[in-house]
Structure 1
Amino acid sequence: MPKNKVYIFDTTLRDGEQVPGCKLNTKEKIEIALALEELGVDIIEAGFPISSPGDFKSVSEIGAVIKNAVICGLSRAVQKDIEVAAEALKTAKRSRIHTGIGTSDFHIKSKFNSTREDILQRATQCVKWARNFTDDVEFYAEDAGRTDNEYLARVVEAVIAAGATTVNIPDTTGYCLPHQYGEKIAYLINNVPNIDKAVISCHCHNDLGLATANSIAGAMNGARQIECTINGLGERAGNTSLEEVVMVINQHHSLGFYTDIKTQQLNPLSRLVSDTMRMPVQPNKAIVGANAFSHSSGIHQDGFLKDAQTYEIINPEQVGADGSKIVLTARSGRSALAHRFQKLGFQFNRNDIDVLYEQFLKVADRKKEVEDEDLKVLANQYQTATV
């Protein structure tokens, strides 16, 4: 059975930049955009052109240097927004306007003080405005995660008829459970007559820690685009993590999906984004965290040293990580200690290790991590004492 491509839509430069303290200048945005293209991202959401002159300039200059990826600009369902986005995207070889409006009753009543019928009309109108400038129009139904499925299907059918080629189904508040989000996508696939004329996209937030799971559930039920960010950056608790969804697809061949992402570049790009946005990556972050391939428990270390696959499902080199690490702590065992001594050039037998292990534990109880220099001191003291 042929595999289905899942398109990767990166919004690090738009939604990711909405994190407090992560504002980027145009030069920084261009550097990251070029790295994203090299990574193999299909669509780069470069910014929200009407939001500021600086963002307009960034979108325009990114469009001028990117050769292969589609450059996308965000807008509200406002004619002026769409016109400004189109102007900023004139430099792009391939451009997309991303426009839309909130569709949940929370948004319709509280945010817009409107009605479902009025929102439906505004949704189709914004797509028609955008189609005046490009054939590649993506519509977002903001807060689709909490939108009634029957009404959402009506909106999706109408915007596709108006010319939308991609329909974004955002779980804006990160509220959905994976089975609920998957069922929502399946409902649209089965109840929107013209759904074959558009790509369904997942845009999931991480408020309950379910963004990656929800995005994969969406793809399993028919979505073929996932919107995500490097390191999972984004509004509030963040967005779907690009590196996570890519490696879920990479590892689970039974899903029948593939992406064009060059996975060896994931860790280098993670560090670039972290440094440029001045936003550290949590050490236990999947795929790109400092501890993602570290082992400190004695049981884990022993198994890993016998066969790495006992505790690692991904080869660190596959994602551009520095390699697996055996971290020596008071929880470490004799196997790890012997391994580290051997790497340092010391040849000790089992009896030697038994004696050295007792001394090692004394050091480990005083320090969070036992370093190579500590081990050299222990080894030299032991050798001197046994001469």
Structure 2
Amino acid sequence: MTMGKDFWEIRSKEPDRVTILDTTLRDGEQSPGVSLTGAEKLEIAQQLARLGVDVIEAGFPASSAGELAAVQRIAETVGRGQGHAQRGGRLEPPGIAGLSRANRHDIDKTWEGVRAAKCPRIHIVLPTSDIHLKYKLEKTRAQVLQIARDMVSYARSLCDDVEFSAEDSTRTDRDYLFEVLDAVVDAGARTLNIPDTVGYAMPAEYGDLIRVLCERYAARGDVVISGHCHDDLGVATANTLAAIANGARQVEVTINGIGERAGNACLLETVMALHTRKPFYGLETGIDRHEIGPTSRLVSTLTGMALQANKAITGANAFAHESGIHQDGILKNRSTYEIMEASELGLDQTGLVLGKHSGRNAFRAKLRELGFAMEDGELNRAFVRFKDMADSQKSVSEAEIRAICEMMESEREGAPL
């Protein structure tokens, strides 16, 4: 049997470290319209390893022969550390997980997919809410409890690292949820994942559920509570951060927040919240922030899911400024209106975008950048022309600003226009 003991030995020594499980290749690929080839999944997995995620959920091996082959290849390469040197004491290589429904066929296929990794994980998901039991599984609570216990025990006979997800946890009766979780812990599950499967919970109630569970299993020492949130009401990342604040030490996230329906909690937002607000959270991750930009771009390119311009962290406007008041502050000190550094995230410094809201100081700075120097009077006349143009169109390009300046030079020299 291949064990994932290295993973747990390292984690037990790092109580202030949040484990990042990236499920871009599983839950993220379930985004409507997204289908990755085996080669594309491998390319993303390699980049996730460079990014420094702790566990890569590589897929759902029982879903198809191609998916199984893709997960196997990731386990045999990325999961063995191929091409990735250890950096800064970070766990290397990442753990490789596969998702499995609670039946022996799925578990066997998942084990077949991940077993070559240095730190393999079998991740079992089983619904626990009454609505899922009645309409999806058509089983009683007692039957589902027995299935959970038996299948975790079987998975543990194959793999030392077993995660259990109580699907639709946030709509599950708490007493029954606790009964199921107690049973799977006794059967050998080491990570208890609490999915907000349909994005139903609010941060206060999700955080409270996580707090209660962390207190319930605190004495065990070897049980990690994990958060997994969907964005149907737009609070997936907020719920994930609430889980962390209340004791969760693993979170399941995706690059750019892609995933089923409205998506999952965003890895980039979660990690940068922990980093930027470190005095508040007091927690670390193993993420290499310089790889954030390249990872975001790669996933966007290969999935065909473009980022909206105002997407936090890596959207085109995340470090752009058009307002004159903001531009003036940025010119004096970037920290006036930016709480992160684009260069630290592997992003280009977008800077000033000139439009109708821009001020004279930003316009002057852009002229200097383009190599034009003007006295105040001439600058004012050029600025008026710029404003007239900006009022009539969405934005003003550098080429158009250059044309204004060249026209001003021609007028100054008395040359024919």
> Do they fold alike, i.e. is TM over 0.5?
yes
Residue number in structure 2 paired with 1:28: 40
Tell me the CA shift for residue 195 of structure 1. 4.9
In the superposition, relative to structure 1, how do residues 3 and 161 fare at CA in structure 2: closer, same or farther (>3 Å)?
closer
Tell me the CA shift for residue 364 of structure 1. 1.1
The normalised TM-score by structure 2 is 0.90
User: After the TM superposition, which residues 92-241 of structure 1 pair with which residues of structure 2 at under 5 Å, given as runs?
Assistant: 92-192=117-217, 195-241=220-266
Tell me the CA shift for residue 35 of structure 1. 0.7
Question: What one-letter code is carried by the residue in structure 2 that aligns with 1:367?
Answer: Q
Residue number in structure 2 paired with 1:338: 364
Q: How far apart, in 2, do the equivalents of 1:308 and 1:194 lie?
A: 46
Q: Is 1:320 aligned with 2:346? A: yes
Tell me the CA shift for residue 240 of structure 1. 0.8
Report if aligned partners of 2:309, 2:317 keep a CA contact under 8 Å in 1. Answer: yes
Tell me the CA shift for residue 192 of structure 1. 4.4
Runs of 4 or more consecutive aligned structure 1 residues displaced over 4 Å after TM superposition: 192-195
- Which stretch shifts more, 63-72 or 107-116? 107-116
Residue number in structure 2 paired with 1:367: 393
Tell me the CA shift for residue 371 of structure 1. 1.2
Q: How far apart, in 2, do the equivalents of 1:353 and 1:146 lie?
A: 63
- Which stretch shifts more, 367-376 or 8-17? 367-376
Q: How far apart, in 2, do the equivalents of 1:233 and 1:5 lie?
A: 24
In the superposition, relative to structure 1, how do residues 160 and 331 fare at CA in structure 2: closer, same or farther (>3 Å)?
same
Residue number in structure 1 paired with 2:28: 16
Question: What one-letter code is carried by the residue in structure 2 that aligns with 1:32?
Answer: I
1:102-160: CA deviation from partner (whole Å, max 9, x where unpaired): 11111122222222222111111110111111000000000111112222222211111
User: After the TM superposition, which residues 290-309 of structure 1 pair with which residues of structure 2 at under 5 Å, given as runs?
Assistant: 290-309=316-335
Residue number in structure 2 paired with 1:53: 65
Q: Is 1:377 aligned with 2:403? A: yes
Residue number in structure 2 paired with 1:289: 315
Q: How far apart, in 1, do the equivalents of 2:59 and 2:222 lie?
A: 26
Tell me the CA shift for residue 356 of structure 1. 1.3
Tell me the CA shift for residue 283 of structure 1. 1.0
Q: How far apart, in 1, do the equivalents of 2:345 and 2:171 lie?
A: 35
Residue number in structure 1 paired with 2:276: 251
Q: How far apart, in 2, do the equivalents of 1:337 and 1:364 lie?
A: 12
- Which stretch shifts more, 73-82 or 300-309? 300-309
In the superposition, relative to structure 1, how do residues 318 and 241 fare at CA in structure 2: closer, same or farther (>3 Å)?
same
In the superposition, relative to structure 1, how do residues 3 and 351 fare at CA in structure 2: closer, same or farther (>3 Å)?
farther
Q: How far apart, in 1, do the equivalents of 2:403 and 2:320 lie?
A: 24
Question: What one-letter code is carried by the residue in structure 2 that aligns with 1:116?
Answer: R
Tell me the CA shift for residue 365 of structure 1. 2.2
Residue number in structure 2 paired with 1:276: 302
Report if aligned partners of 1:100, 1:126 keep a CA contact under 8 Å in 2. Answer: no
Q: What runs of 5+ residues in structure 2 fail to find an aligned partner? A: 1-13, 82-92
Report if aligned partners of 1:160, 1:195 keep a CA contact under 8 Å in 2. Answer: no
Q: How far apart, in 2, do the equivalents of 1:24 and 1:327 lie?
A: 35
Tell me the CA shift for residue 256 of structure 1. 1.1
- Which stretch shifts more, 125-134 or 376-385? 376-385
1:215-242: CA deviation from partner (whole Å, max 9, x where unpaired): 1110111110010111111000001111
- Which stretch shifts more, 224-233 or 354-363? 354-363
Other structure's SS at 2:192 match: strand
Other structure's SS at 1:386 match: helix
Other structure's SS at 1:279 match: coil
In the superposition, relative to structure 1, how do residues 150 and 350 fare at CA in structure 2: closer, same or farther (>3 Å)?
farther
Question: What one-letter code is carried by the residue in structure 1 that aligns with 2:36?
Answer: L
Q: How far apart, in 1, do the equivalents of 2:55 and 2:291 lie?
A: 17
Residue number in structure 2 paired with 1:65: 77
Residue number in structure 1 paired with 2:8: none
- Residue among 100, 107, 124 paired with 1:75: 100
Q: What runs of 5+ residues in structure 1 fail to find an aligned partner? A: none
Report if aligned partners of 2:217, 2:223 keep a CA contact under 8 Å in 1. Answer: no
Q: How far apart, in 2, do the equivalents of 1:112 and 1:143 lie?
A: 13
Tell me the CA shift for residue 199 of structure 1. 0.6
Tell me the CA shift for residue 88 of structure 1. 1.6
Report if aligned partners of 1:17, 1:23 keep a CA contact under 8 Å in 2. Answer: yes
Residue number in structure 2 paired with 1:90: 115
What number of residue pairs does the alignment pair up? 386
In the superposition, relative to structure 1, how do residues 3 and 189 fare at CA in structure 2: closer, same or farther (>3 Å)?
closer
Residue number in structure 2 paired with 1:357: 383
Other structure's SS at 2:166 match: strand
Report if aligned partners of 1:72, 1:97 keep a CA contact under 8 Å in 2. Answer: yes
Q: How far apart, in 1, do the equivalents of 2:377 and 2:63 lie?
A: 69
The normalised TM-score by structure 1 is 0.97
Q: How far apart, in 2, do the equivalents of 1:217 and 1:368 lie?
A: 39
1:1-26: CA deviation from partner (whole Å, max 9, x where unpaired): x8700000001111111112210111
Q: How far apart, in 2, do the equivalents of 1:129 and 1:239 lie?
A: 29
Cα RMSD, aligned residues only: 1.4
Report if aligned partners of 2:121, 2:159 keep a CA contact under 8 Å in 1. Answer: yes
